[in-house]
Amino acid sequence: MKIGVLVNEGPFTHQASDTAYHFVKAAIEKGHDVLRVFFYYDGVNNANKLSEPQADDRNLVKLWGDLAKEHNLDLVVCIAAALRRGIKDEILAEGFRISGLGQLIEVGIAADRTVMFGD
């Protein structure tokens, strides 16, 4: 199945991003094709490479980046939401790219299912 994913929350305040990460990882392991993960609202904070969680906690920014590298996964951060929150190329973590909201609508059209993570 072709899957699109929307992540609406940041990596620490809310569980949504963790759940999305585990969902995407499991979907890929089951052989599904995750076309794109789109980060919107505070979800753009998942792409902040300055993020430094304590050493004994999971580092979602890095986990997303590693997953992208391993599976050539397309991680897209919404530019309008990102600029508001100070997420720019200078601090963009590896594996992410910044683009427009059209990328979300496009994947919604192309995917068999679009799954949203957030409140």
Partner 1 sequence: MSEEPDLHFDTEGIKKKFMFLNRKAPYGTVYALEILEMVLISAAFEQHACITFVDDGVYQIVKGHDTKALNMKNFSPMYGVIEMEKEDADGDEDEDMVWRIIVEKESMEARGLTADNFSIDVEVLSSAELADVIEDMDVVLGG
CB of 28 to partner 1, least distance (A): 13
Q: Residue 91, interface with partner 1 (CB under 8 A)?
A: no
CB of 108 to partner 1, least distance (A): 4
Q: DSSP of 69-101, one letter per residue?
A: HHHT--EEEEHHHHHHTT--GGGBPTTEEEE-T
Of 16-24, 46-54, 56-64, 107-115, the segment contacting partner 1 by CB under 8 A is 107-115
What are the structure tokens assigned to 27, written together? 């979907």
Q: Residue 93, interface with partner 1 (CB under 8 A)?
A: no
Instruction: From 84, 77, 118, 116, select the one nearest 100 (Cα to Cα).
Output: 77
Q: Which member of 78, 82, 92, 104 is catalytic?
A: 78
DSSP reduced 3-state for 51: coil
Q: For residues 73 and 24, is the Cβ–Cβ distance under 8 A?
A: yes
30 catalytically annotated: no
**14 to 53, contacts with partner 1 by CB under 8 A?**
35, 40-41
CB of 54 to partner 1, least distance (A): 28
Q: How far apart are CA 53 and CA 117, in angstroms?
A: 21
Question: Residue numbers of the site for partner 1 (CB under 8 A)?
Answer: 6, 8, 35, 40-41, 68-69, 72-74, 80-81, 94-95, 97, 100-110, 114, 116, 118-119
